[in-house]
Amino acid sequence: MTTHDSDQQVWFITGSSRGFGRALVESALEAGHRVVATARTPEQLAEFVERYGDRVATVALDVTDASAARAAVAEAVAHFGRIDVVVNNAGYANVAPIETGDDADFRRQFETNFWGVYNVTKAAIPQLRAQGGGLVVQFSSVGGRVGGSPGIASYQAAKFAVDGFTRVLAVETAPFGIRTMVVEPSGFATDWAGSSMEVHDIPAEYEATIGAMNARMRQTGSRPAGDPKRAAEIIVQAAARENVPSHLLVGVNAVEMSLAYSTKQLAEAEAWEQVSRSADFDQPYPVPQPADAV
C-alpha cells in the first residue's frame, strides 16, 4: 500500500462535481484522506473546501485535453507532494442506434470515456513511478464486462477499451509498485441516466431494443438500486488494502449479470474446446463441431 508515514492518502479524482466522483471525494475526506477534486467547473466543489479546508484542493480539468491532464497532475503534486490514488471517474453516455447515430457524437463520447482515462493515466504514471507506487482506479461498468446494452455502443465500447488498456497498464507498471483496480457498477442513483444523458432519435425499428432499454433506464419512475455513498465507501476501504481486486463489482445486478455471463462464456469455451485447439499445426484435425442446437 502506498501511503505517507500514516494511513493518510492523497486522492486525485476526475469528474468530481456529481455522481460517483462527488461521493468519492466526500468518502475519502471523511476517511481522513486528502483529495485533489477535479472538474470542468471547480467552483461547483467549493462546499468541500469550506467543510474540509486545506485537506482538499480543487483543480479545473477537461480530461479530453492531454496537456490539461499533465498540468492538473503537476498542480496536485505541487499542492500535496504526491498522489497515492488516481480515480478516472469522468464519463457519460448518450443513447442512439449504431445505424443512425451521429458519428461526431459517438467520437465525442469516446474522447471522454476512453481518451480521458488514457490522458490522465499517462500523465500520472511518471509521478507514481518516481514515488515508488500508487493505485489507479478506473471506472468502468458492468456493461464493460458483459456488454450488450442496446443504444449505448460508444459508452460500452469505451469501457471495454478501458479494461483492455488497464490490463496492459497493470503488467507494465507492476515493477514500479503501481496497482490497478477496475470498478464495474450496475445501476446507481446518480445523474448518469438523467440530465447527463442525451437520447437521440430512436427509429421505430429499434423500439423493441433501444426504446425498451431507454424506458428501463430513464422512464420507469423508480430510481436505480445502487447507493453511491455505500459504493464510494467500499472503494475507499478497498484502496487501503495491500491487495486490491483487479476488478471490483458493485451492485447486485453487477454481480448477478457477471456471474451469469462468465458461466455462459465458460460453457461455450468448453463446448468448442476441441474445435478451437484443432486450429494449431500439432493438434488433431479435423474434429467435429458441437451439435447445432435448434
- C-alpha cell of residue 81: 507532494
User: Is 201 in contact with 100 (CB distance < 8 Å)?
Assistant: yes
Kindly list the catalytic residues: 140, 155, 159
Burial (CB < 10 A; 0-12, 13-18, 19+), residue 1, is: middle
Residues 6+ away with beta carbon under 8 Å from 159: 113, 140, 141, 143, 144
User: Cα separation of 130 and 98, whole Å?
Assistant: 43
User: Cα separation of 144 and 75, whole Å?
Assistant: 31
User: Cα separation of 9 and 43, whole Å?
Assistant: 24
Place of cell 480543487: 58
Q: CA torsion sign, 67 to 88 to 8 to 43?
A: positive
DSSP 291: P
User: Cα separation of 247 and 179, whole Å?
Assistant: 12
Cα distances (angstroms) measured from residue 24 to each of 19, 30, 38, 72, 159: 9, 10, 12, 18, 20
